[in-house]
């Protein structure tokens, strides 16, 4: 399991470039005698589907990672590298659980490894068109091996603002797009995005900001990409966003999802996820569960890691969950 995780981590798969890791998993699953299919979104970009028997439970996670690619290394306690906990260590734990289940003559489960979770969830949205008769989908994300009772929603938006360029020695001759857009974003950041007794507060993050050409030029254009973690319905949050902006900038909503309540099985520890996942996009595949080894606090960081013990426990939990759900 640990060796497989490191192999997967050694294959770069930043969102949009998942082909090689998809081919690796397809070959591996075929060698392990699963029925394997590729579901193409566009040429060279595909989800990987694998079946033991007719799946009543689907084990699902994503193949893509955020940038940048990181060196892969290990010590006696941890595996380090991009995708360690988000989510290549999780893939390895799921496959380990699958091997154990088949050794017990349990085969009515399947795997679904999707592209694009770290951006718009396009792989999961495509997978939701599948005509499986499954009852449950276990989505793998680093939850510390606790079942999420719910996850916050998301709203992704791109902002742009135009000004008028001028020589910085004569700023009165121009209009700074950077200053204008920054003011809009600050108003958004100071807005109340709701508070839920289970999910906590809604939050606003300016993930990317760009503008200007040189320090001696009044900037004529500026752009930003933001993500709002929602604890209220997406439609209402989108209306609130446009009201706060008030036409001062162009806003393009890229993607979003409502807060989502998960299926919970008695006997497992629980938590609330402040992050998003593909779970809201997979409702046609069954009731969603969200759980996986590793800590979300290590994901997307320069020191991403997963503990060996967490992976061992994760494989145990996936095996136990599938057996519980099937019975």
Residues acting as catalytic residues: 117
> The tokens of 216 are what?
């001696």
- Rounded Cα distance between 11 and 63, Å, is 10
- Look at strands 57-62 and 136-139 and give their pairing: parallel
Residue labelled with tokens 């070959």: 27
Region of residue 44 (left: phi > 0; alpha: psi -120 to 50; beta: else): left
- Rounded Cα distance between 160 and 265, Å, is 45
Residues 298, 301, 303, CA angle at the centre, nearest 5°?
75
- Rounded Cα distance between 14 and 66, Å, is 5
> The tokens of 146 are what?
């606790």
The β-bridge partners of 58 are: 110, 137
> The tokens of 6 are what?
């490191």
Q: Is 100 exposed, middle or buried (0-12, 13-18, 19+ CB in 10 A)?
A: middle
- Look at strands 217-218 and 270-273 and give their pairing: unpaired
- Rounded Cα distance between 81 and 69, Å, is 8
Q: Within 13 Å of residue 245, how many CA atoms lie on the same side as its CB? A: 20
Give SS3 for 223. Answer: strand
- Rounded Cα distance between 275 and 199, Å, is 10
- Rounded Cα distance between 282 and 275, Å, is 16
């Amino acid at each position: 399991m640990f060796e497989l995780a490191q192999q997967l981590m050694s294959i770069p798969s930043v969102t949009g470039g998942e082909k090689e890791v998809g081919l690796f998993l397809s070959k591996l699953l075929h060698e392990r005698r699963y029925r394997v299919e590729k579901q193409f979104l566009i040429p060279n970009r595909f989800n990987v589907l694998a079946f033991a028997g007719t799946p009543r439970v689907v084990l699902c996670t994503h193949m893509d990672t955020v940038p940048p690619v990181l060196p892969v290394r290990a010590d006696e306690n941890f595996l380090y590298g991009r995708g360690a906990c988000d989510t290549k260590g999780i893939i390895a734990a799921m496959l380990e659980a699958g091997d154990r289940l088949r050794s017990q003559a349990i085969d009515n489960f399947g795997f679904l490894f999707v592209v694009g979770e770290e951006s718009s969830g396009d792989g999961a949205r495509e997978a939701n068109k599948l005509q499986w008769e499954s009852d449950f989908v276990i989505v793998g994300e680093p939850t510390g091996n606790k079942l999420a009772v719910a996850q916050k929603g998301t709203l992704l938006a791109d902002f742009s603002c135009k000004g008028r360029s001028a020589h910085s020695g004569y700023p009165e001759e121009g209009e700074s797009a950077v200053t204008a857009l920054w003011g809009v974003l600050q108003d958004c950041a100071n807005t109340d995005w709701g508070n839920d007794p289970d999910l906590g507060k809604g939050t606003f993050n300016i993930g990317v900001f760009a503008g200007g050409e040189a320090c001696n030029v009044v900037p004529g254009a500026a752009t930003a990409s933001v993500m709002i973690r929602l604890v209220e319905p997406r439609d209402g949050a989108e209306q609130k966003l446009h009201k706060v902006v008030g036409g001062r900038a162009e806003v393009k909503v890229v993607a979003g999802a409502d807060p989502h309540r998960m299926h919970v099985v008695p006997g497992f520890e629980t938590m609330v996820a402040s992050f998003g996942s593909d779970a809201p996009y997979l409702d046609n595949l069954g009731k969603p569960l969200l759980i996986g080894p590793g800590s979300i606090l290590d994901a997307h960081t320069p020191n991403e890691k997963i503990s060996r013990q967490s992976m061992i426990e994760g494989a145990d939990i996936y095996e136990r969950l599938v057996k519980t759900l099937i019975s």
